[in-house]
Amino acid sequence: PGSIRGYSSSGRLKEGSATTETYDLSVIIPTFNEEENIAAIIGAVNEVFRQNGIRGEILVMDDDSKDRTIEIVQEIAGQHDNVRLIVRKDDHGLSQSVVEGFGAARSAILQVIDADFSHPPELIPRFYEAIQDGADIAIGSRYMRGGNIEDWPLKRRVISLGATAFGRMLFPEITDPVSGFFAVRREVVAGAPLAPRGYKILMEVLGRGWWETFVEIPFIFKDREEGESKLRADTMVDYLKQCAGIVRFAVARRSGPVWTEWTKIVRFGLVGLSGILVNMGLLYALTEVAGLYYLVSAAIAIELSIVNNFVWNDLWTFKSVRDLRFGRRIQRFLSFQVVSMGGLIINMGILYLLADIVGIYYLVANLAGILVAFAWNYAVNRHFTWVE
């Protein structure tokens, strides 16, 4: 499982009272005009409960559908004790409905799933087990190995990739932070100041919930066969506002996953800048003062700037990272060295490509190279050198 540590709410996640719950798992299904799907999805989820011996409840959070959804669910709820319908009249919205569902649920593990079979219900037990095994959040990911999206028009793919990329800037460790298919431990959201708007409820949970560990589960998103997506342009505006709100919240609280990761990214960047100074200073001194051939000076300057960066990153940037996989500093150094050489090659490759082949001014081309190399260095070192 992946995890983000350094979270200040220590102890808070352990406070559950799972033994007194009526159910083991609550599956929350937000609906708006789902008459074609709702009976089938309820049936499928109940079948999953039965086959896996899960004492589960189903909570349909409906936003006062104009079709027969309410009628259909009322009828099913009359026959099945574990199915409940909540019809919401105010504050229409997918995220708002899910949050209200969190509050109404009668179990310690909360699962969210679309009504339209975009999310395969047979994976529910994997989410349930992941939380039972200790993860605070289990996320269904379309963008990790094994995940995919079927039947999406190009426009939808591009929009989703943009939204996901934006979300990943806040949560670099998570491949699909805008997924609508996820499960959380109730303590994660209980009392969290969720201010949901729009579609991206998971972002809100990640940004304002109390969590430390997460697991991602790959799944294949199948576009709905019945009915149509309710995603509109103002949903995107809502999403951008939501991201801004999460960042403001992280800064105000000065803790939590967004804050923890971004402190590292900023520090890593500052260390990188110090490395450039070391590199330039040494190149000048060794060439002009010591009289070395400039390429020899450059090789020494590059290596010493790598050493400089390593020392600062090890002592400062990643000092909060405990349980390092490479316990020994020398191993971390070798790993950092290899990654940095990769970064150097990327930087020079992009510089050459953009300046020589595309014809962009070489200082601008170099800036692009530095940015990509920076992203590479951070991401790869985070996964291999200072890994938690």
Q: Which residues pair with 70 in a beta bridge?
A: none
Question: CA 326, CA 122: separation in Å to the nearest integer?
Answer: 38
State which of residues 197, 200, 208, 264 lies at the interface with ligand GDD (CB under 6 A): 200
Residue 117 zone, left/alpha/beta (φ > 0; ψ -120 to 50; rest)? left
State which of residues 104, 190, 220, 231 lies at the interface with ligand GDD (CB under 6 A): 231
Instruction: Report which of 278, 149, 287, 286 is spatially closest to residue 223, judged by C-alpha positions.
Output: 149
Q: Which is nearer to ligand GDD, 115 or 250 (CB)?
A: 115
**Contact region for ligand GDD (CB under 6 A) — 87-95, 126-134, 248-256, 286-294?**
87-95
Report the b/e string of 224-262 with b at 16+ CB within 10 A. Answer: beeeeeeeeeebeebbeebbebbbebbeeeeebbbbbbb
Say if residues 72 and 115 touch (Cβ distance below 8 Å): no
111 binds ligand GDD (CB under 6 A): no
158 binds ligand GDD (CB under 6 A): no
Q: Which is nearer to ligand GDD, 230 or 248 (CB)?
A: 230
Q: How far is the CB of 356 from ligand GDD (least distance, A)?
A: 40
State which of residues 115, 205, 246, 271 lies at the interface with ligand GDD (CB under 6 A): 115
Q: How far is the CB of 94 from ligand GDD (least distance, A)?
A: 4
> Helix, strand, or coil here: 61?
strand
178 binds ligand GDD (CB under 6 A): yes
Q: CB count, 10 Å around CB of 94?
A: 24
State which of residues 7, 23, 32, 268 lies at the interface with ligand GDD (CB under 6 A): 32
Question: CA 200, CA 239: separation in Å to the nearest integer?
Answer: 7
Q: Which is nearer to ligand GDD, 178 or 354 (CB)?
A: 178
Question: CA 173, CA 276: separation in Å to the nearest integer?
Answer: 27
Q: Which is nearer to ligand GDD, 21 or 35 (CB)?
A: 35
Say if residues 27 and 45 touch (Cβ distance below 8 Å): yes
State which of residues 13, 45, 48, 61 lies at the interface with ligand GDD (CB under 6 A): 61
160 binds ligand GDD (CB under 6 A): yes
Question: CA 130, CA 184: separation in Å to the nearest integer?
Answer: 10
- Which letter does DSSP use for residue 286 in this model? I
Amino acid at site 4: I
100 binds ligand GDD (CB under 6 A): no
**Contact region for ligand GDD (CB under 6 A) — 8-16, 224-232, 257-265, 355-363?**
224-232
- Extract the runs of DSSP E, i.e. beta strands, from the chain: 2-3, 25-31, 56-62, 83-87, 109-112, 137-141, 148-150, 182-185, 213-218, 220-222
Question: CA 85, CA 94: separation in Å to the nearest integer?
Answer: 15
114 binds ligand GDD (CB under 6 A): yes
224 binds ligand GDD (CB under 6 A): yes
State which of residues 72, 85, 94, 110 lies at the interface with ligand GDD (CB under 6 A): 94
> Helix, strand, or coil here: 221?
strand
Q: How far is the CB of 82 from ligand GDD (least distance, A)?
A: 19
Question: CA 279, CA 291: separation in Å to the nearest integer?
Answer: 16
Q: How far is the CB of 95 from ligand GDD (least distance, A)?
A: 8
State which of residues 21, 35, 57, 116 lies at the interface with ligand GDD (CB under 6 A): 116
157 binds ligand GDD (CB under 6 A): no
Residue with tokens 């932070």: 177
229 binds ligand GDD (CB under 6 A): yes
Structure tokens at 334: 């070798």
**Contact region for ligand GDD (CB under 6 A) — 5-13, 115-123, 263-271, 311-319?**
115-123
Please report, as ranges, the residues that interact with ligand GDD according to CB under 6 A: 30-32, 34, 61-63, 92-94, 97, 114-116, 118, 160, 178, 180, 199-200, 224, 229-231
